[in-house]
Amino acid sequence: MNNQAELISIGSELLNGRTLNTLGKTLGGALSGIGLELSRDTTIPDDLEIIQDTLEAALERSSVVILSGGLGPTIDDITREAVAGLLAKNIYLDHETVKKMARHDAEQGHITTEAGKRQALIIEGAQILPNAVGAAPGQQIDLPGGKTVFILPGVPAEFISIMEESVLPWLQGRFLEIIPKISRSVKTRGIYESDIVTLLENMEFEPWNIKLGFYPNKDVVEIQLTSEQEFEHELLEAERTLRSLLGRFLHEE
């Protein structure tokens, strides 16, 4: 068991230029807010074998694997079948979920179809994670060895809703001992990233226990300093030193 989480973004539309995959950014930001790190975001098509191979490899590496997409009513929505097949579990139709969907559909003046009911197919042993903004619920499968698989809808609003309502609170409880890292940001303007690096090397700016990240965007470079909370004093000291070294190139917004 480790503190690593991975996202597997499923959907051929994410690979053929139709749809921009935004869930890595969403999940990565949310996880770092609670001190966890998204170690990979793998984007794959709606292909049973590829889903199973990717999930199997992710489970070998990471404690938490979150799959998104492929929970809809169409025949190319095969995420449930792929996960159930790999984990050797059955799938059943959850009548409570069908009832909820029927109520939701009725409110919209729509009758739930047989195809729509596919969204109420649940993997044996999975916890059902309510979807407040759409039809297909999320599913959480706890595996032997402390590994957990989450399956969430790909529609961003639905993914975010279930992530906030169910996934993040569960992860916070599970990884109670993790304290989120702290970071500071310094921005420059009018100096190349490579010249900043040379300047910092020449001045032997190599603060201990602090990670530096460089994020150039046009003529502005953002330098992010990150550390564990116990090194807050060193972090603030490093920020002060960095600001004095960069002097006239500092960019305050």
Binding range to ligand ATP, per CB under 6 A, among 68-76, 80-88, 202-210, 226-234 = 68-76
- The contacts of residue 231 (CB under 8 Å, 6+ apart) are 209, 210
**Shortest distance, position 224 Cβ to ligand ATP, whole Å:** 25
List all residues 6 or more positions away from 196 whose beta carbon is below 8 Å from its beta carbon. Answer: 188, 214, 221, 223, 246, 249
Is 161 a binder of ligand ATP (CB under 6 A)?
Answer: no
Specify the residue for token string 């001045």.
Answer: 203
**Comparison of 134 and 207: residue with beta carbon closer to ligand ATP:** 134
77 binds ligand ATP (CB under 6 A): yes
Nearer to ligand ATP, 51 or 246 (CB): 51
CB 33 within 8 A of CB 178: no
Q: Does 134 bind ligand ATP (CB under 6 A)?
A: yes
- Work out the number of other CB atoms within 10 angstroms of the CB of residue 46: 22
- Whole-angstrom distance, CA of residue 150 vs CA of residue 129: 9
Q: What residues does 38 pair with on adjacent strands?
A: 5
Total residues interacting with ligand ATP, rule: CB under 6 A: 23
Q: Round to whole Å and give the CA distance between 133 and 137.
A: 10
**9 is a contact residue toward ligand ATP (CB under 6 A):** yes
Which CB sits closer to ligand ATP, 27 or 242?
27
163 counts as binding ligand ATP under rule CB under 6 A: no
Which of 22, 194, 198, 209 is close enough to bind ligand ATP by CB under 6 A? 22
Note the residues at the interface with ligand ATP (CB under 6 A).
9, 11, 13-14, 19, 21-23, 68-72, 77, 119, 134-136, 153-156, 158
